[in-house]
A and B are shown apart, each in its own frame.
Chain A
Amino acid sequence: MILRRAGMYILLTAIALAFVGPFLILLSAGLKPADQAVYSFPPDIIPRPPVLNWVIEAWTSIPYPTYLLNSVIYVGLTVPAYVIVSALCAYPLAQMHFRGRNIVFFAILSTMFLPGELMLIPRFLVVTQLGMADTFAGVILPGLLSAFGIFLLRQTFAGVPRDVVDAARTDGCHELRIFWHVMLPAARPTLAILSIFGFISVWNSFIWPLVVLKDSAKYPLALGISYLAGITGTDVRTLAAGTIMSIIPVVIVFMLMQRHVLEGMRGAVKG
């Protein structure tokens, strides 16, 4: 029995290593001193001693602080806006009867079936026509409509008892007040889930900013890293250090909020 359990942990750990290993290799490469080989048979994974000059190199060879700040701005502007847009749309879908409700529902649903590559081109043309090419607005606005967000919140709002809503209504509460003081507080866990998913997806977003942005000063970090990788002569250690730094914020948020992330996944599947 104990043997079986030990075997199970060995298996679980081996698999964990397969999932974390590539990041550890990156971390190791980014910390190795210049006279220690990055690649060797057998792998020499412990930096002797760990050095931070590649971190500094990555930080200065591209405008790393700018990209970092841009990513923070993209997240800071996108996430609250997308959560609010989703919640506003989810409330009537969950708690009101109105003409065209099904049309709204199916319109939102249809967005899940439009392939990114197909939409990339015409959406770029639309954004250009609106004068938003190469702007923060052009990067942010198309990402604010999320079928996932709307459906998850609709489900949560639908769970708020009708009596509570009706009581508030007979008390003369304005719909906006009900939304703000009854619905949003009731949906706090769902709002947390959406914020974390939003954070992760905006932090990692790549293809759309790549298409919209010409001016590299507006790049988010993921795009900046790919730019760093594309510069010929970038040291593999510098690239490793820059890349590992770029994932630290998202990994920290994920680790702190993992319960919500895994909950959210469950909600999405059942939704």
Chain B
Amino acid sequence: MRIPGQRWYTPYLFAAPALVLFGVFFAWPAVTAIQLSFFKYDMISPPPVFVGVDNFVRMLGDGRFWTALLNSVLFLVGMFPLLVVVPLLLAVLVNQKLPGIKTFRMLYYLPVVTSMVAVGIAWEYVFHQQGVLNWMLTGAGLLDEPIQYLLDPAWALPAVILVEGWKNMGFYMMIYLAGLQTIPASIYEAARVDGANAWHRLRSITVPLLLPYIAVAITVEMLDAMQAFTSIYVMTKGGPQDATLTLGYYIWSAAFERYEMGYASAMGLVLWVLMIGLAILNYRITRGRTVIA
């Protein structure tokens, strides 16, 4: 049967706008990135000069690259409890049937919808030497002296990680909440009848049944952490003394402050390989028990 209005090319026409955008803004740039990483190119004195693997060799001897890589790994590790563990507890908390619980869900999600620029600026007020965080910590006796968190090389990275984690927690909470709502309440009731307390229920029902969602959270967390940029741009610009220089920030500054497009692309490629590697590793470890591709 010939379908009226449908010729062999009809599906392609529908997909054409997306495919053109894919070609121009994804495929072409991806190929360009790979090419560029073997060239030296400063955008001012064209054309690009082929330098073979020099950019990759340079990375090996570039102390700042290793600092950035280490900081990115610390970022990933530091955000793990904030984005994989805490949101799970939050999700359990807001999964209760209580009047007004939707309002709390919404408030916890609020930082997710606000811009990182606004969030970064808001936290600068919190982190101020005379700010509310120092007031709370000195008041509780945890600190003797107020700290300038964003200016202190020991504290700047944890501070930025805290802000990134705080901003995105609500998002991860919603991932878990979606999972929790697939668990029938009868399982919990049965466990309660058997005398299982809240901790037991969490450990032996919630966590195992949520494993696919935890796998998603871990994957997304790793990809997020490896790409952190705006928070650093707004709050610390990679400083003090490179304490918050992450791979993402270093790539940006190499490309758009020093115009070393080739070197920056080579580092971008390394970042990409790392991300793919982490995603595959995570997939292996969780044995593919994930709900999204």
The reply to whether A21 and B252 form a contact with Cβ atoms under 8 Å apart is no
Is the contact region of chain B dominated by helix, strand, or loop, or is it mixed? helix
Q: When the two chains form the complex, which single residue of B26, B101, B118 contacts A114, counting CB atoms closer than 8 Å?
A: B26
User: Do A19 and B170 form a contact, CB below 8 Å, given A86-B18, A144-B21, A247-B114?
Assistant: yes
Q: When the two chains form the complex, which single residue of A5, A22, A141 contacts B25, counting CB atoms closer than 8 Å?
A: A141
Provide the residues of chain A in CB contact with B122, threshold 8 Å: 22-23, 25-26, 243
CA of A121 to CA of B24, assembled, Å: 14
Chain B contact residue count (CB 8 A cutoff): 101
Q: Residue-by-residue, is B159-194 near A (CB-CB < 8 Å gives 1, otherwise 0)?
A: 000000010011100110111010000000000000
- Answer yes or no: A211 CB below 8 A from chain B CBs: yes
The reply to whether B174 and A265 form a contact with Cβ atoms under 8 Å apart is yes
Provide the residues of chain B in CB contact with A175, threshold 8 Å: 3, 5-6, 10, 14
CA of A241 to CA of B197, assembled, Å: 48
The reply to whether A15 and B108 form a contact with Cβ atoms under 8 Å apart is yes
The reply to whether B28 and A126 form a contact with Cβ atoms under 8 Å apart is yes
The reply to whether A125 and B271 form a contact with Cβ atoms under 8 Å apart is no
The reply to whether B115 and A222 form a contact with Cβ atoms under 8 Å apart is yes
The reply to whether A20 and B107 form a contact with Cβ atoms under 8 Å apart is yes
Within 8 A of A (CB), among B176-231: 177-179, 181, 213, 216, 223, 226-227, 229-230
**A177: min CB distance to chain B, Å:** 8
User: Do A16 and B178 form a contact, CB below 8 Å, given A115-B227, A118-B269, A120-B252?
Assistant: no
The reply to whether A121 and B15 form a contact with Cβ atoms under 8 Å apart is no
Q: When the two chains form the complex, which single residue of B6, B113, B130, B264 contacts A39, counting CB atoms closer than 8 Å?
A: B130
The reply to whether A119 and B4 form a contact with Cβ atoms under 8 Å apart is no
Q: For chain A, which range describes its interface: under 10, 10 to 19, 20 to 34, or 35 or more residues?
A: 35 or more
The reply to whether B18 and A119 form a contact with Cβ atoms under 8 Å apart is no
Spot the interface stretch: B50-58, B75-83, B150-158, B272-280: B272-280
The reply to whether A22 and B119 form a contact with Cβ atoms under 8 Å apart is yes
**Which 7 A-B residue pairs are closest in the complex by CB-CB distance?**
A39-B130, A118-B268, A92-B11, A174-B5, A89-B18, A122-B29, A204-B115
Where the two chains meet, the residues of A that have a C-beta atom closer than 8 Å to any C-beta of B are 5, 8-9, 11-12, 15-16, 18-23, 25-26, 29, 38-43, 84-86, 88-89, 91-93, 96, 98, 101, 104, 107-111, 113-126, 130, 141-142, 144-145, 150, 169, 172-177, 179, 200, 203-204, 206-207, 210-211, 222-223, 225-226, 229, 236, 239-240, 243-244, 246-247, 250-251, 254-255, 258, 261-262, 265-266, 268-271
Q: Known pairs A19-B110, A23-B122, A206-B117. 17 more at Cβ < 8 A?
A: A12-B104, A15-B104, A25-B125, A39-B125, A89-B18, A104-B15, A109-B293, A114-B272, A115-B226, A121-B264, A204-B115, A207-B233, A207-B252, A243-B118, A265-B171, A265-B174, A269-B213
